Amino acid sequence: MGRLSVTLCGIEIDNPIIPASGTFGFGYEFAELYDINCLGTFSFKGTTKDPRFGNETPRIAEAPAGMLNAVGLQNPGVDKVISEELPKLKEVFHKPVMANVSGFSIDDYVTTCEKLDKEPQVGWLEINISCPNVHGGGMSFGTDPNAAAEVIRAVKKVTTKPVIAKLSPNVTDIVSIAKACEEAGADAISLINTLLGMRINLKTRKPLLANTTGGLSGPAVFPVAVRCVWQVSHAVSIPVIGMGGVSSAEDVLEMLMAGATAVEVGAANLVDPYACPKIIEALPGAMDKLGIQNLSEL
């Protein structure tokens, strides 16, 4: 293993840097800017059983030290992802990719995961039970331990690849939900998804987002994310992927010290499309300053 290498659910990746779902498309757009094979892997755009147009616009609003989004899981549906998006990705990315899956019912999750599990390019299935921007699905499964466990249990029955439960911080006790997912068979936990937020236009006296509320991401949420990673990693025995406001090599090391095995980078990609390769390049120097020889030590 190299100095930056880590093992995630039995799969070795060159470094722990993973662009987060929803901020990296299906990869090939970023491949026009740099060789995305420098990444550990990435989590592609949230995929549902059926095509989704997403929420009405405006979907994005600025916030102090971050942003609000209410895109609403816009995607072409799992069949087109498999027939159109993955072949284009295969031309530019030669590592296992993480498939992010959302749904509005247990059957949605099962159908989508069963199809993606058969794809050789897919290394992990990240089950999004924490999206705050859709009505009647997403986060409704991730706020209750029993409902979260039911999704994971159903998905595990039809899949062979590692299943990662992506959790919401918009709960009172995130540890109980993580434990329930672990007991249901989850191979890893990823957290946190966005915090629920809202902005108001002072002139119109109406919400800035057509959806009224949206998910807050960016540096503003980093301390919350570190706290959640710390709590969950000390409560479960499966790997934890940390995310939420990560924008530097130092942030990555802090997440790993909190207990994460790998780190997803989200909003930073929208601020600077080269954010992830810059973080990877800066990691060895940041490690040297702290006397860290290998990331696996952390």
Cβ of 297: how many Cβ atoms within 10 Å? 9
Q: What is the mean pLDDT of residues 87-96?
A: 97
d(CA 265, CA 247): 7
pLDDT value for 285? 98
- Burial (CB count within 10 angstroms: exposed 0-12, middle 13-18, buried 19+), residue 136: exposed
d(CA 112, CA 124): 13
d(CA 60, CA 70): 6
Whether residue 133 is predicted with pLDDT greater than 80 in this model: the reply is no
Strands 240-243 and 262-265: parallel
Residues 234-249 have pLDDT tens digits of 999 999 999 999 999 9
Question: So which residues are the catalytic ones?
Answer: 131
Whether residue 135 is predicted with pLDDT greater than 60 in this model: the reply is no
Residue 137 exposure: Cα atoms within 13 Å on the Cβ side: 18
Largest CA distance in the chain: 56
Domains, the chain, ordered by start: 6-55+73-195+218-297 (3.20.20.70)
Phi, psi of 271, deg, nearest 5: -80, -45
Q: How confident is the model at residue 293 (pLDDT cuts 50, 70, 90)?
A: very high
pLDDT value for 155? 97
Percent of the chain with pLDDT over 70: 97
Q: How confident is the model at residue 298 (pLDDT cuts 50, 70, 90)?
A: confident
Whether residue 4 is predicted with pLDDT greater than 70 in this model: the reply is yes
pLDDT value for 132? 54
Q: Which of 9, 97, 102, 95 is nearest to 47 (CA)?
A: 102
Task: Report H helices in 56-138.
Answer: 78-80, 86-90, 106-117
